[in-house]
Amino acid sequence: MKVFLTLLSLLVYYSLNSFLTTVSPIVTNQFAGKQFDDSDSAYVVSQYGMHVMSYTGLVTTVVLCLALYLIWVSSIKKVVKNAIDQ
């Protein structure tokens, strides 16, 4: 069951990252165009938007690591406990 959940987690991670890398240029394109508007707030908003899109990969990776940890934590604890008891 754990192997299936691991493969499912990796499949979801890959699918989500593929979707985000497809959508990211479209979203950041709109922000990049707005940075040349004649106001400081437009520049700040465009920089913020482009940086948010660049951090989506980090967020999905952290979520994947958390999911894998939750899937495998009980098995890892058993292995460590058995190694210590020997």
Q: What is the mean pLDDT of the chain?
A: 88
Q: What is the pLDDT of residue 29?
A: 81
* 78-82: average pLDDT: 92
| H helix and E strand count, the chain | 3, 0
Q: Which amino acid would we find at residue 10? A: L
Q: What share of the chain is helix, strand, coil (3-state, %, to 5)?
A: 90, 0, 10
Of the two residues 86 and 77, the one the predictor is more confident about is 77
The two structure tokens encoding residue 76: 């890892």
Query: Looking at the 3D structure of the chain, how many domains does it have?
Result: 1
Q: What is the mean pLDDT of residues 54-78?
A: 93
Q: 60 pLDDT exceeds 80?
A: yes
Range of the domain at 54: 2-85
Residue range 35-62: mean pLDDT, rounded: 83
Question: Of 21, 51, 47, 20, whose CA–CA distance to 34 is shortest?
Answer: 47
- Mean pLDDT, range 31-48, rounded to an integer: 80
Number of C-beta neighbours around residue 46 at 10 A:
19
- Over residues 46-70, the mean pLDDT reads 89
Query: How far is the C-alpha of 48 from the C-alpha of 52, rounded, in Å?
Result: 6
